[in-house]
Amino acid sequence: MNFQYFDLTGKVAIVTGGATGIGRGLAEGLADAGATIVLCARRMNVLEDACKEIADRTGVPTYPHRLDITSTEEINILVKDVVEKFGHIDILINNAGVGGSEKPILKMTEEDWDTTVATDLRGIFVLTQAVAKQMVAQGKGGKVINVASIGADMIFLNMSAYCASKGGVKQLTKVMALEWVRYNIQVNAIQPGYFETPMNTSFFATEIGQKVIKKNIPMNRLGQLEDMRGLAVYLASPASNFMTGSCIIIDGGQVCW
């Protein structure tokens, strides 16, 4: 195999929600392939630790940048700072998100709804629009990877704002792909199922958590962060140049049930 198709050396990638969990796994994959990483999240201390760990392991430059994805001002600052430092943006991974209030619709407030949608859908629109304008100006195309969820296709009770937002991300991905095909910008989405993260490790270690795994996942295990790395590299690299508007499910077979 000619691995040059997966080589990201010289590429600059922004990864939101990248300090922990799925975002960290995606960032690790791009770093393994040689990309310079700009890791974004709200907590700078966690970001700095993650960047150091990635840089120490891979040897590639990795930089922290604080970002509240719900703030248009912070989004504009991020894009400006990255362009000033590196001169270009080649890859964007939109991973920042929240699970939401986990309330039934009849008990949700407008604030519950707005908070989830602002993070999981609006933030992706605003940031991707800003980055895509830069990619168009560069004239060399680019790669956008949106992290949706199997919740875009399956129903999770008491998570209406989350499911609606992720469904919106899936459709937004397709519209972006079609509108930007003329600029050689490929836009695809990843739809993860249950992955082990620092937030859910303790739950899935319980008897109830183990029952959830056995009931819902044919592979009988949670996804691990390394399961994300190859997919991230594929979607960010020249290997996927003829692929746009696709939404790839990675869930251990859950949606098959």
DSSP letter string, 190-222: EEE--B--TTTHHHHTSHHHHHHHHHH-TTSS-
Q: Helices 21-32 & 44-58, crossing angle to 10 degrees?
A: 30
Burial of 111 (0-12, 13-18, 19+ CB in 10 A): exposed
Closest by Cα among 89, 72, 95, 244 to 175: 244
Q: Which amino acid is at 187?
A: V
Q: How many CA atoms lie within 13 A of 29 on its CB side?
A: 25
- Whether 162 is catalytic is yes
**Contact (CB, 8 A) for 148 and 173:** yes
Q: How many CA atoms lie within 13 A of 9 on its CB side?
A: 5
Residue 243 to residues 142, 174, 182, 234: CA-CA distances in angstroms? 12, 11, 14, 10
Q: Which of 5, 63, 162, 183 is catalytic?
A: 162
The residues annotated with a catalytic role in the active site are 162
